[in-house]
Amino acid sequence: MQKYIKNFKVLFLNDANSYLIVNEISKKAILIDGGYNANLILNYLKNNNLNLTDIFITHFHHDHIVGLDYISIQTNANIHIHEYDFEYLFDVNVNGTQNGQKVDFTNPNISFKVFDKNLKLTINDFLINVIHKGGHSKGTTFYEVDNQYLFVGDTLFIDGFGYHKKLFSDAVNHPLKNMFDKTCNDEIFFESIKSIGNEFSEHLIYPGHWKEGFKIKEIIANNNHPFNKLK
């Protein structure tokens, strides 16, 4: 096996997923998201003699960013994020870190690659399509790797959808309300979900939580999945 995907889960965050994608020949790797997994990821890199070159963030929420500042400083890995979500890395009142573990992306040793359009990249012999979708957050981005793996953040899960604004419409003091009121667009969110079925039906899907590596046909086969009720 020349390439593989290693998943690091955080059980107390609804099985939040961090994906390390490794090229065994070059011993180089990229990381997609990484909330609260810094030490596990750094230890794995060290124990397997791997060089992490780049980090890709699907969206700015705390369960996907906490620890990435530390990982970037320790490895000199570039951090890629859409410009719409970039500012919220520094806003604890929106990114959800105000009551939990803190992050500090102001360190001058952190190298950001902030993008404002879709991109086609080749990094460590991985073909990476950077696809801005929005919805769950204004800057939510899908990453297609080697034309067969699709990393979708918190847009679509094996048993349902990610959080969106409508879920918090009646909430008053919910800690996530500010996050979704400011940056979520429900119409775009549901269009981004439909695009997975329309554009990536044969891809293996890697979401931000719970089971990974499934195809859209598994969701279609589940009559109870809300995906099948989208028009």
CA angle 217, 63, 61 (to 5 degrees): 90
In the predicted model, is pLDDT for residue 113 greater than 90? yes
In the predicted model, is pLDDT for residue 177 greater than 90? no
Chain centroid to Cα 25, Å, comes to 25
Distance in angstroms (rounded) separating the CA atoms of residues 141 and 143: 7
The model's pTM? 0.94
- pLDDT of the residue at 54: 99
Mean pLDDT of 19-39: 96
Q: What is the pLDDT of residues 1-12, one digit of tens each?
A: 699 999 999 877
Residue spans of the domains in the chain: they are 3-229
| 71-75 long-range Cβ contacts below 8 angstroms, 24+ apart | 71/31, 71/34, 71/38, 71/41, 71/42, 72/109, 72/110, 72/111, 73/107, 73/109, 73/110, 74/42, 75/42, 75/45, 75/51
- pLDDT of the residue at 15: 85
Alpha helices (H) in the chain, listed in sequence order: 38-47, 62-65, 68-75, 83-86, 92-95, 177-183, 186-199, 216-220
- pLDDT of the residue at 165: 56
Q: Which residue has the higher pLDDT, 76 or 100?
A: 76
Mean pLDDT of 123-144: 97
The class that CATH gives domain 3-229 is: alpha beta
The residue type at 143: Y
- For the chain, helix, strand, coil in percent to 5 are 30, 30, 40
Mean pLDDT of 205-220: 96
How far is the CA of 119 from the CAs of 21, 24, 79, 87, in angstroms? 19, 25, 15, 20
Mean pLDDT of 116-130: 98
Distance in angstroms (rounded) separating the CA atoms of residues 178 and 167: 12
